[in-house]
């Protein structure tokens, strides 16, 4: 059976970095499930289709090819916004969760990161991590990243965006973002990603 590490948390908390580090360390397959929502949203935007039609969005989600997902192509702000809108639709979630569960069975193990992995996608995962940080710290990381890449950014706008996205993810009826009861909480506001990785590694080693 595949060994699953489920990682959840809000945007820019450090989940992705942690997930990649764990996958590399253990030779596990990694799926950033946010990309599945982003790719569904991009397919709708590219085709000039409405983001409000559940049946059309579901069709896009069912047709999604998990092997072609690339964060570089899907990172645009409008795509993230659109992704969080299609992510409230139950038929879209059902289609993507089915694909994510299939992925989670890959041997020898998998790391999935997102918003509902420990609660809905892989509730039986032997290791569940909930990675978070304060909205200020997360907005600051986004801001610093844009500046480091030579871009321009408005901190207040990013901060407002982080809070809106949190509200939408935590407030939706279907699969809201919340820690699984048995998740290990890692708050990266004060803790380095390295320290979070070591905490995660020790529980993985214990349960592997
Ligand atoms: O993590 P990322 O910002 O790429 O995710 C984009 C959007 O997809 C999130 O704001 C969230 O609404 C949605 N999502 C989700 N469930 C997941 C992963 C992402 O609803 N497991």
pLDDT tens-digit profile of 132-174? 999 999 999 999 999 999 999 999 999 999 999 999 999 999 9
- pLDDT tens digits along 18-71: 999 999 999 999 999 999 999 999 999 999 999 999 999 999 999 999 998 999
Helix, strand or coil, per DSSP, at residue 83: helix
Calpha distance 12→198 (Å, rounded): 19
pTM for the predicted model, two decimal places: 0.96
Closest by Cα among 60, 32, 33 to 46: 60
Q: Which residue segments constitute the domains of the chain, with CATH numbers given?
A: 3-207 (3.40.50.300)
Q: What is the pLDDT of residue 38?
A: 98
165 lines ligand 1 (CB under 6 A): yes
83 C-alpha to ligand 1 centroid (Å): 7
- pLDDT tens digits along 120-143: 999 999 999 999 999 999 999 999
Which helix (H) or strand (E) segment holds residue 127: the answer is strand 127-132
What tokens were used for 37? 């929502």
pLDDT band, residue 188 (cuts 50/70/90) = very high
How many Cα atoms within 13 Å fall on the side-chain side of residue 170?
A: 12
Q: What percent of the chain has pLDDT over 90?
A: 96
141 lines ligand 1 (CB under 6 A): no
206 C-alpha to ligand 1 centroid (Å): 29
């Amino acid at each position: 059976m595949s060994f699953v590490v489920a990682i959840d948390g809000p945007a820019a908390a450090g989940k992705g970095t942690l997930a990649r580090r764990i996958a590399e360390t253990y030779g596990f397959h990694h799926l950033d499930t946010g990309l599945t929502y982003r790719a569904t949203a991009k397919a709708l935007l590219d085709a000039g289709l409405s983001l409000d039609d559940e049946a059309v969005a579901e069709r896009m989600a069912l047709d999604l090819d998990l092997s072609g997902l690339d964060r570089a192509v899907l990172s645009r702000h409008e795509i993230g916004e659109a992704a969080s809108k299609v992510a409230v639709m139950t038929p879209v979630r059902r289609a993507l969760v089915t694909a994510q569960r299939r992925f989670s069975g890959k041997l020898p193990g998998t790391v999935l990161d997102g918003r509902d992995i420990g609660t809905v996608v892989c509730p039986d995962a032997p290791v569940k991590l909930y990675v978070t940080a304060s909205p200020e710290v997360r907005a600051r990381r986004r801001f610093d990243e844009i500046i480091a890449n030579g871009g321009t950014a408005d901190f207040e706008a990013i901060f407002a965006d982080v809070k809106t996205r949190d509200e939408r993810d935590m407030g939706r009826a279907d699969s809201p973002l919340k820690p699984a009861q048995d998740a290990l909480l890692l708050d990266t506001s004060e803790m380095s990603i390295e320290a979070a990785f070591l905490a995660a590694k020790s529980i993985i080693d214990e349960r592997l």
